[in-house]
Amino acid sequence: MPMPRALFVAPLLLTLFGLGSAPLSSEPHPDPAAARLPPLVTEGGAHAAALLAHRVSSAPYDTYRLAGPGIRRSDRFRAGSITKTFVATVVLQLVGEHRLRLSDPVERLLPGLVHGNGSDGRRITLRALLGHTSGLYDYTADPSAHPLSATAALHVALAHRPTNTPGHYAYSNTDYAVLGLVIRKVTGHSYAAEIRHRVLTPLRLTGTSLPGARTSLPSPHGRGYTRDPADGSLRDTTSIDPRTAGAAGELISTLDDLNRFYAALLGGRLLAPAQQAALLNTRASHGVYGLGIYPQKLSCGLTVWGHNGRIAGSHVRTAATRDGGHTLTYRVDTDASADSEALGTALVDAEFCEASPPSRPGP
């Protein structure tokens, strides 16, 4: 499972469903797993978290739960690397339109751009970029670099030797910076414009946006916090320059929109069958990652699909069943959580295994 970088600090325990739980007025049935969901770990003054679950099967329900002050269901928040699933969807749609092929080498599309210090665009395909098997160094691993464009991010990456040889899995934000450039080359439009046209507008995801250079969050929104590495203090990072994240992580969204997006994607509404199969193919990563999405096998044998996202002031996780009929998104108003990966595993496991009987396990 990919683990985006973050600052780790000592936790303060809060219980997600013990504080201010609030079912939706339209909820046909209460969430049977709510009382059994595990505690949520957050920090210091950044103590707000929320979870939204939705199911459309034989026992449908919507459930919203929250912990801590200053957070609402309608809030816009930074979704970090969940951006990658949106970018991958656009690339796969272009493949379905025969404007791209997954076997296309980067060199054919962006001649001369990915070359040097051991990296060779002739050996890196679009499939490798989508599935993090390109070997390209992750530009966010260089703490001295704060690139404000995809080409600048690529220059940072190419200043380092590859993390792995092409064909071996290694999560790298550089892969999606390059994919953003590929989308512009093929369509003549930015990846943000293509996401709006192909995904946001058709699905009516009105709370989702790609801010570009805009540093503020759209209203309504809460606050976001991170830990200052210099003195360990908690500081407000609600306003940041998202250009460093770019196609790897600039997305702003809501709980409802993320659930709706993954339900549509996994439900087959955005991709043709061949591209849908490619999306969920994890062979190249030995089961770790598909193309912009990854699986999580739960304790009850069910496999869910989704992505996590971590960016300054925000940690998010979305998971859904393979048919998109049961979705879960939770968010925390800080990226400074020492054990957020374990928390995410526990929350997802409790929701899907306790709330419904196990269905046929995924691949």
**Active site positions, annotated:** 81
189-207 residues labelled b (16+ CB within 10 A) or e (exposed): ebbbebbbebbbeebebeb
If you search the block for the tokens 């999560």, which residue do you land on?
171
- Residues 54 and 220: beta-carbon distance below 8 Å: no
Question: Which H helix or E strand runs over 350?
Answer: helix 340-355
DSSP state for residue 39 in the 8-state scheme: P
Residues in the chain: 363
Question: Is 144 exposed, middle or buried (CB count within 10 Å of its CB: 0-12, 13-18, 19+)?
Answer: exposed
275: closest CA among 84, 87, 101?
Answer: 101
Residue 301: other Cβ atoms inside 10 A: 12
How far is the C-alpha of 108 from the C-alpha of 229, rounded, in Å?
A: 41
Residue 16: strand, helix, or coil:
coil
Alpha carbon distances (Å) from 211 to 185, 194, 196, 243, 318? 21, 14, 12, 8, 21
